[in-house]
Structure 1
């Protein structure tokens, strides 16, 4: 397969995703959901799963999914990023589901995936420590074989999750454990963050009953696989957000008059918009290259995912700043939508270990052998 040549089915998928995201996630609804406890509408999430069938795009057919790939999931993510659609796409679909599948526990997968795919179950992957460090070598949650004790921070969709896959340290090393969202001894607290459209939580386990998922030896690889998948999804969503910002800036430059002329006719604005376009296209290339690398093996998937993280986070931030500048005074106001995407860009740069960690892995992979 040649990269960046979308099939007719993939183009149709993008149209469907754009249609539902535009209709179900207008700006007014995004702002309303920012003030709710969960930050998303479960009815809309169930419609995405049961009615439209978008939540199982990258899940194999033997597990009830569509059997597509990461490219298709990236197309969906780009459209959700464009409209800031609320929902656990990153926490459930891109993180928890790949970890569950990679763990190789078919019994637990058969139990959880039907609800996840129809949108009735929110599953979260809790793979941080009590400071929010991603995939720590020594997890701050421990297990005695049947219960969990300890704490974790900055767990994506951790407060809204109906079930959790928890990385915990045991006698045989780190392992994944399944915890019911309403289990006695489990305390969940929403953490305040810059991006109110994507929720994170602090979890505390006080003798919480848990069931092992897969083998202890598979946990590290399962979490690493989930992080790579989520990094590509996060990158694609950043492309959608950056494109929305660019479109907003260009439209404003065309219609805002100064000295009787559109401000887009001034060289400084022209150059800024041109630079923003280059950033968006560069980010899009990096994100979809990572998706194709994972699906088709056109490149090292881990290397491509880290490259996508570095490129898209930097581009997203530059485009967000540029959009604020093009809009002038209105770009700084709460009423204008630019700040919603700006906060998403800043938040994205710190997720899944952050841009710095991805850059360090790139350096180790590319510079050390050289």
Structure 2
């Protein structure tokens, strides 16, 4: 007898009490150590990352191990909690390798932890905040891993996010996935000048570097796709947090800024623009939460939820940042005001882990509709 068809579970888009507690802890930490003047000053230095901030976030709060099971020293939480952390990091545009190390690299290793002892040991280090790792692929690589083939143990990989501060590089090669110590002989890390100074990029060159094998070609490729899918899905939460800050800051400014003895926010044209942006942000929240929930529950619709979230949230983040700069008037164009940091992060994020157009093509393929 055939079992009755079970309808898909309804996604939970609300925040739990535990998630709100985590948000409060992360927001308080970032307010103390990564406020706007601190972030602007960091981007003007040679080292935008603050090791004390990362130690407090990764080890103090335990955010680095949210996706890692307790048996491997992590918190045993889910993508929903990691999404909350990324919302707050997006809200502050804090320079921290959380997305690249605690999400993408961690998810990649989780796919191999049952078979590779080295992957399990490395996960324990990442969960404790003692080390960071990045997947050595260009930052624009989509979840399909289509561009990951450019990585090689004897070659060059360009545009790798956070590689300059990583301790370990996870390198996909033709014959499998390898772990390479970042400062090992045969590894050259050349920092680039990115648009988004809060997330540095680098070119990696490998020339006979000693590497530890983690998986063969098939298992390695599957692990890379899992890591990139989680990265793309939770990047939407970072974009959501960025858009929420831009909207809130713009509303605050237009309430306080006065022209003709009236707050500029009372002018109808500006009201309409901010109301339209609010609707976009609310929709982005639904898309981002749906992607995080689908990843957390292992839903078979996770690839579709991630593609929808990225196809939509990327544009919302850019629009929110552009409105923030424009509606702040002259001050929004200055280096001292943080609006430019949000615009640069939004523009850089819009092509990370696949552009919105690429994700729209993915949606079209998954639902069997003609691509736009």
Match of 2:6?
none
Q: Distance in 2 between matches of 1:60 and 1:138?
A: 27
Deviation at 1:315, TM superposition (A): 0.6
Deviates more, 1:339-348 or 1:291-300: 291-300
1:166 maps to which residue? 171
Contact 1:155–1:200 under 8 Å retained in 2 = yes
Deviation for aligned residue 1:93: 0.8
Moved more, 325-334 or 77-86: 325-334
Q: Aligned residue for 1:119?
A: 129
More displaced stretch, 105-114 vs 77-86: 105-114
User: Which residue matches 2:260?
Assistant: 259
Q: Does 1:92 align with 2:97?
A: no
Deviations 1:190-246 (A, max 9, x none): 111110001111000111111111222111211111111111221101111111111
* Residues 299/284 of structure 1: CA separation in 2 closer, same or farther (3 Å cut): farther
Instruction: Identify which range, 276-285 or 293-302, moves more after superposition.
Output: 293-302
Instruction: Classify 1:246/1:214 alpha carbon distance in 2 versus 1 (closer, same or farther; 3 Å).
Output: same
Assess, with a 3 A threshold, how the Cα gap between structure 1 residues 59 and 270 changes in structure 2: closer, same or farther: same
Counterpart of 1:176?
Answer: 177
- Taking the aligned partners of 2:292 and 2:195, their CA distance within structure 1 comes to 28
Please report the TM-score for the alignment, with normalisation by the length of structure 1.
0.92
Farther off after superposition, 200-209 or 10-19: 10-19
Which residue is equivalent to 1:108?
A: 118
Determine if the alignment matches structure 1 residue 24 to structure 2 residue 25: no
Instruction: Summarize the Cα distance change of 1:351–1:369 in structure 2 as closer, same or farther, 3 Å threshold.
Output: closer
In the alignment, what sits opposite 2:227?
226
Q: How does 1:286-297 map to 2 (within 5 A)?
A: 286-297=287-298
Shift of 1:133: 5.1
Contact 1:185 1:207 (8 Å CA) reproduced: yes
Alignment of 1:8-157 (within 5 A): 8-104=17-113, 105-128=115-138, 135-136=145-146, 139-142=149-152, 148-157=153-162
Deviation at 1:366, TM superposition (A): 1.7
Partner of residue 145, structure 1: none
Question: What do residues 297-343 of structure 1 show as CA deviations (whole Å, max 9, x unaligned)?
Answer: 56600110111111110111111111122112221221211111011
CA contact (8 A) 1:128 1:136 kept: no
User: How do 1:229-244 and structure 2 match up within 5 A?
Assistant: 229-244=230-245
**1:327-342 alignment runs, 5 A limit:** 327-342=328-343
Secondary structure in 2 matching 1:68 = coil
- Measured against aligned partners, the alpha-carbon deviations of 1:67-92 in whole angstroms (never above 9, x if no partner) come to 11101100010011101121101110
Provide the rounded CA distance (Å) in 1 between the counterparts of 2:297 and 2:120.
Answer: 26
Partners of 2:290 and 2:276 in 1: how far apart? 21
Higher mean C-alpha deviation, range 132-141 or range 262-271: 132-141
Alpha-carbon separation, structure 2, partners of 1:239 and 1:141: 30
CA distance in 1, matches of 2:230, 2:353: 11
**Unaligned runs of at least 5 residues, structure 1:** 143-147
Relative to structure 1, the CA distance from residue 59 to residue 138 in structure 2 (aligned partners, 3 Å threshold; closer, same or farther) is: closer
What is residue 250 of structure 1 aligned with on the other side? 251
d(CA) in 1 for partners of 2:165, 2:148: 26
In structure 2, the gaps of 5 or more residues are: 1-9
Q: Deviations over 1:148-180 (max 9, x none)?
A: 20110111111111111001113xxxx210101
